[in-house]
Copies of this chain bind each other. A is one copy, B any other.
Amino acid sequence: MAIRTPEQYIASLKDNRVVYCQGERVKDVTRHPLLKITMDWMAMDFVLQNDSRFQDLVTVKSENGERFSFVFQPHKSVEDLLRLREVVKLWARVCFGKPSGAKFTGKDGLSAITVVAPRVDKKYGTNYAEHVENYRKYLQKTDATLALCMTDVKGDRSLRPSQQKAHKDYYVRIVEERESGIVVRGAKAHISMAPLANEIIVLPCRAMLEDDKDYAVCFGIQANAEGLTFISAEPEIKEPGNFFDYPLSASVYINDATLIFEDVFIPNERIFLKREWPYAGQIAHMFGNFHRLSAETYKAVELELLTGAATLIAEFNGIDKVAHVKEKLSWLIQYAEATEIMGRAACEHPVSEQDSDLVYPNPMYANIAKLFFAEHWHQATKYLQDIAGGIVATAPSAKDYFNPELQGMIEKYLGGREGVPTEHRLRLVKLIRDLTSSYEDVLTLHAEGSPAAQILSIYKLGDFDRYKSAARRAARIENGSEHPIFSQLPQFPPNLGV
């Protein structure tokens, strides 16, 4: 089949999957007014794949001349990573800052197991790399939408998986092993777009110790697998179709669902890790490297939008020449552009996997970029809200604006600077509200890894030998263990005999 049309994608969703939304079992996910928002958003991937202007960017041709999604291909060069970045930016620009989820998270899971599976095979003599490659071919051929399922529900965060007290299923685990495969049980949370995906890659979400080995499991699964239940996240959307009042939330419903695995069977060829516990953490971290890159890539696009919203509302309100407003706009620009710089640097300076032709994004840079935008997001929303004014909280609704009894009054009074249509100002104000919602805050902080995870990663990745050598040399502390950069430097101050 190779690349699909949006219609083909939609048709593929009628497969009896078990999806709940707002307390109801959804018979046909393609007909549900809220889930349709997710579906339409995901369908944009197929729109772009079939659009001649973008096709050469987002797809590649296989040896047999069939096109398939570029993101299903292994990454082997800086150019591959930079192209990946361009793809994600296109997705994000099309969809108001939120990249179409068709393959967005899934691709990073696929990339992660592509790198790690050969490591496991090398150590244990398993053949997971082959499983991964077969799975990749299947994805390429079916042009599947691919979700990624990582974060376990976790129960008591102070305890490891095997230490949990209320029950042992807070992390997905192997409960039975059969000749043909395994049976898993547990639940995962925040699984973006999963209810509208075809395939789902399931990864462990943390490093494990030997006691936790039943939890060291990784596999691919179809959305209609028996025993799998999706509970949709409560939607942010107040009123589907109202793009005036809810320009973002009525356009994108990511649907970070909770997935319940009630004794789901996974056939052997779909398994990519099975109790090789030392590699659970490696998969999680490798996924992090790729997904943090994805995060900073789309975030740079979202910040472009946020900066634009701040600039426009400053103009609409007539305060764009006010000194503190210009400073805040300058801050927003550097925030957006620095996110761009640092995300791109993770591509431009990747790491080459040993004994392999694969590369992955620079982990230090990917973590720094993610932390950078997450740590400063609330500052950005504060600045945006500050410039926009109280109207973000108090504006009337579209229904008021379009009521002929009121429209004249609203036109007259809620305008800003002369020449700016009141409708434009109101639409912008609503965009700003959507952009600064609690949902956006939490997404920015926690999606693609919480700040605490990046802080720890950066600490672990620090080049301490280099740092300490620099300090010891300046302090004249000799301990005989200089970093090579410093050991070769000439004496300073010099002894010039003057």
Partner of A452, one of B244, B324, B403: B324
B residues near A301, Cβ cutoff 8 Å:
470
- Whether the Cβ atoms of B321 and A324 lie closer than 8 Å is no
Nearest chain B CB to A173 CB, angstrom units: 13
Closest beta carbon of chain B to A50's beta carbon, Å: 10
Which residues from B are CB-within-8-Å of A243? 476
| Complex interface: chain B residues within 8 A of A337 (CB) | 364-365, 368, 458
Question: Contacts A25-B405, A397-B22, A413-B170 given: A476-B244 contact, CB under 8 Å?
Answer: yes
* B93 and A485 contact, CB distance less than 8 A: yes
Instruction: Determine if A138 is an interface residue (Cβ-Cβ < 8 Å).
Output: no
Interface of chain A residues 217 through 263 with chain B (CB within 8 A): 229, 231-234, 238, 243-245, 247-248, 251, 256-258, 260, 262
Q: Which residues of the partner chain B approach A446 to less than 8 Å between Cβ atoms?
A: 385-386, 389-390, 393
A348 neighbours in B (Cβ, 8 Å): 348
Partner of A341, one of B47, B365, B472: B365
Does A488 make an interface contact (CB < 8 A)? yes
Name the distance in Å between A14's Cβ and chain B's nearest Cβ. 11
Q: Which of B169, B256, B403, B417 contacts A23 (CB 8 A)?
A: B403
Q: Which of B190, B258, B400, B433 contacts A413 (CB 8 A)?
A: B258
Partner of A318, one of B158, B258, B389: B158
Of all chain B residues, which has the CB nearest A473?
A: B96
In the complex, what distance in Å separates the CA atom of A473 from the CA atom of B301? 13
A12 at the A/B interface (Cβ < 8 Å)?
no
Chain A 28-47 residues near chain B, CB threshold 8 A: 30-31, 36-37, 39-41, 43-44, 47
Name the interface residues of A302-329: CB closer than 8 Å to any CB of B. 304-309, 311-312, 317-319, 321-324, 326-327, 329
Residue picked from A324, A391, A456, most chain B C-beta under 10 Å: A391
Task: Provide the residues of chain B in CB contact with A386, threshold 8 Å.
Answer: 445-446, 450-452
Nearest CB of B to A277, in Å: 22
For residue A119, CB closer than 8 A to chain B, the reply is no
A8: min CB distance to chain B, Å: 11
| A440-455 CB contacts (< 8 Å) to partner B | 441-443, 445-447, 450-452, 455
Contact B304 A393 (CB under 8 A): no
Contacts A245-B234, A390-B447, A409-B229 given; indicate if A258 touches B414 (C-beta within 8 A): yes
Complex CA–CA separation, A119 to B434 (angstroms)? 45
Chain B nearest Cβ from A226, distance in angstroms = 16
Choose one: B93, B414, B475; the contact of A489 (CB below 8 Å): B93
Residues of B within 8 A of A165 (CB): 418
Given known A-B contacts A337-B368, A475-B309, A390 and B436 have beta carbons under 8 A apart = no
CA distance A386 to B410 in the complex (A): 39
- Give, as a whole number of angstroms, the nearest-CB distance from A85 to chain B: 14
Query: Which residues from B are CB-within-8-Å of A390?
Result: 151, 189-190, 256, 442-443, 446-447, 450
List 9 tightest A-B contacts by C-beta distance, closest first.
A23-B399, A323-B323, A308-B471, A308-B467, A156-B318, A187-B413, A390-B446, A256-B394, A234-B397
